[in-house]
Structure 1
Amino acid sequence: MYWQYMAVYTIGYSGFSPEEFLHTLAKFGVEAVVDVRRYPRSKTAFYTASVLREELGRVGVEYLWFGELGALGVRGPRAGCVDSATFDMYVWRLYHYAPAILQLDELARLSERRVVALVCREEDWRSCHRQFIADYLARRGFPVLHIRRRGTEGHVKTKCAEVFDPPPVDVVRRVYEDFRHLCSAGPVYLFGGALEGSAADVDVVVYGLGEGLPRGYDAQFIPAPREDLFHFHVTYNGVLICGKPIKISFERSLANELGETEERVRAFLHSGDPVLVCKAAKQLAFAVAAVLCGPRTSTWRRVKQCLEGHGLELPQAFKNCLTPPPPEVLKLHRSFVEKIAEVLRGFRASEPRGR
């Protein structure tokens, strides 16, 4: 395999004496140590941040602490790719929490210029969260080697490696800089097509009450989330810019959406308001995509791909419900709406009662 960059190393200091640790770093030509512990302290004083920084400095190795990449105490939604709840929430955080996303990018940029070793406590990288950081680096084109007492091991991607796509760092950084003054109001989320380059508008939700939304965004204050697919997609598939993560059940959100099927069909068929007609059809389309393809169908592009994979063509007329076509144009797609409504009715009928 061709690698674009020089190797990044990882090492767990457990089992290494201070002398062995320094000798090992020198052996591999490490120029910078990136500490990825949430709390950089240890019962062995040498591995406490202040001492480690000083000792590494004496041998010409820079010490950097990237605490946002730590795993201890992480809370939030689960990625659904690993049994360990802590690791599963950590994987979600790496790709959906702005400070972690920005530190991952900083780590990659540093690794382009210098020989870097990630350091944590566990000697076996398979028992440490740095395996998931290694997944990210491998996707960025870096060979990753795990240093162990008996030698090095090349990184083997975990089951979590391809679950999420890294969001565009430039968009995340811009929203983070522009919205972090609103963090005291409540959690701030970036969501929608801008995260995958499929939309020009950048959508942001601030869960709370306040004022002073930055210009140039499709941004809104929402007092509190509800259990529906919109809020699920914002809080699960979006990027948490700041604040505590909100966990919303996909199953309950989908059940609530299914309960709105008949009302939305009636709105589509009988309303004369083009916005209501468009929104009703679009909500039905997103609901059927969630049924057919699961919780990742959070954008127009993903919904379109999902439905096409099941022989359904999503009409372009429903894409922009802020400035939709006239109702008579929208209702030309009545057969599509009736088809997806039948799918939703069938799924709802098959669900166990009382779920």
Structure 2
Amino acid sequence: MSILFTVGYEGTDIDRFVRTLKAAGVQQLADVRAVAVSRKPGFSKKKLSQRLAEEGIEYFHFVALGDPKPGREAARAGKFDLFRSIYGDHIETDAAQDALQDLKDTVSTAATCLLCFERDPETCHRTIVAREVTDQLGFNIFNLFADDPERYVRHAAKLPRFHPSESVTAA
């Protein structure tokens, strides 16, 4: 079975973040932030896409899959049921469904990682997006934590890998 990675950049820096992606074998990064601007150096869209290109990782931004402002505010306030409800409504919009289809097409071609800010995947909308993608493609989800890339280097042989021949698109 193939894999879809997810990662948040909270609590890390750009160098450790990139080392984590490379150790996991990520070839594409799918940014699912509504606003790809960050106060953390290196994580705004332009700088991030440039750095990833230097490392041989392709960057895609799926704006329509970002969490709308009320959902982000609910999550920040710890109102996770409200956040999930808001995002659940959002992901059903035509724009989000179109972007979700584009994401599925992208994910089917190479080892891909979904990016958002939150370190904890259970309190981030990227997990909802990942489930939408993997349910249709038959992929597994593997959550990366970019604060300690050496754990992935040490255990590289045990990491799941992307297998394009197992995706629905390739079949």
> Considering the TM-score relative to the shorter chain, is it more than 0.5?
yes
The counterpart of 2:104, out of the listed 105, 108, 112, is 108
The counterpart of 2:144, out of the listed 137, 147, 150, is 147
Report the Cα distance in structure 1 between the residues aligned to 2:104 and 2:139, rounded to whole angstroms: 8
The counterpart of 1:71, out of the listed 67, 70, 75, is 67
Question: Could you list the per-position Cα deviations for residues 288-341 of structure 1 after superposition, in whole angstroms to 9, with x for gaps in the alignment?
Answer: xxxxxxxxxxxxxxxxxxxxxxxxxxxxxxxxxxxxxxxxxxxxxxxxxxxxxx
Question: Could you list the per-position Cα deviations for residues 141-174 of structure 1 after superposition, in whole angstroms to 9, with x for gaps in the alignment?
Answer: 111111024668xxxxxxxxxxxxxxxxxxxxxx
Report the Cα distance in structure 2 between the residues aligned to 1:83 and 1:33, rounded to whole angstroms: 26
Query: Contact 1:11–1:147 (CA<8 Å) still a contact in 2?
Result: yes
The DSSP-based 3-state class of the residue aligned with 1:114 is: coil
The counterpart of 2:5, out of the listed 5, 9, 21, is 9
Q: How does 1:15-34 map to 2 (within 5 A)?
A: 15-34=11-30
Query: Contact 2:52–2:58 (CA<8 Å) still a contact in 1?
Result: yes
Partner amino acid, structure 1, of 2:144: I
Query: Contact 1:137–1:144 (CA<8 Å) still a contact in 2?
Result: no
CA RMSD of aligned residues (A): 1.9
Note closer, same or farther for the CA distance 1:83–1:125 as it changes in structure 2 (3 Å cut). closer
Aligned residues: 141
Quote the residue 1:89 is aligned against.
86
Partner amino acid, structure 1, of 2:28: A
Partner amino acid, structure 1, of 2:83: T
Question: Could you list the per-position Cα deviations for residues 148-206 of structure 1 after superposition, in whole angstroms to 9, with x for gaps in the alignment?
Answer: 24668xxxxxxxxxxxxxxxxxxxxxxxxxxxxxxxxxxxxxxxxxxxxxxxxxxxxxx
Query: Contact 1:30–1:116 (CA<8 Å) still a contact in 2?
Result: yes
Deviation at 1:16, TM superposition (A): 1.7
Note closer, same or farther for the CA distance 1:74–1:98 as it changes in structure 2 (3 Å cut). farther
- In the superposition, the TM-score normalised over structure 2's length comes to 0.76
Deviation at 1:74, TM superposition (A): 5.0
Q: Check if 1:132 corresponds to 2:128.
A: yes
Report the Cα distance in structure 2 between the residues aligned to 1:66 and 1:37, rounded to whole angstroms: 7
The DSSP-based 3-state class of the residue aligned with 1:46 is: coil
The DSSP-based 3-state class of the residue aligned with 1:14 is: coil
The DSSP-based 3-state class of the residue aligned with 1:136 is: helix
Report the Cα distance in structure 2 between the residues aligned to 1:92 and 1:135, rounded to whole angstroms: 15
Quote the residue 1:270 is aligned against.
none
Query: Contact 2:114–2:130 (CA<8 Å) still a contact in 1?
Result: no
Query: Contact 1:36–1:65 (CA<8 Å) still a contact in 2?
Result: yes
The counterpart of 1:49, out of the listed 30, 40, 45, is 45
The DSSP-based 3-state class of the residue aligned with 1:44 is: coil
Query: Contact 2:13–2:40 (CA<8 Å) still a contact in 1?
Result: no
Report the Cα distance in structure 2 between the residues aligned to 1:26 and 1:39, rounded to whole angstroms: 24
Runs of 4+ in 1 over 6 A off after TM superposition: none
Report the Cα distance in structure 1 between the residues aligned to 2:52 and 2:122, rounded to whole angstroms: 26
Report the Cα distance in structure 2 between the residues aligned to 1:147 and 1:25, rounded to whole angstroms: 8
Report the Cα distance in structure 1 between the residues aligned to 2:58 and 2:70, rounded to whole angstroms: 27
Bigger-Rg structure (1/2): 1
Partner amino acid, structure 2, of 1:88: S
Partner amino acid, structure 2, of 1:72: P
Query: Contact 1:71–1:87 (CA<8 Å) still a contact in 2?
Result: no
Report the Cα distance in structure 2 between the residues aligned to 1:28 and 1:68, rounded to whole angstroms: 26
Q: How does 1:152-163 map to 2 (within 5 A)?
A: none
Structure 2 residue ranges without an equivalent (≥5):
72-78, 153-171
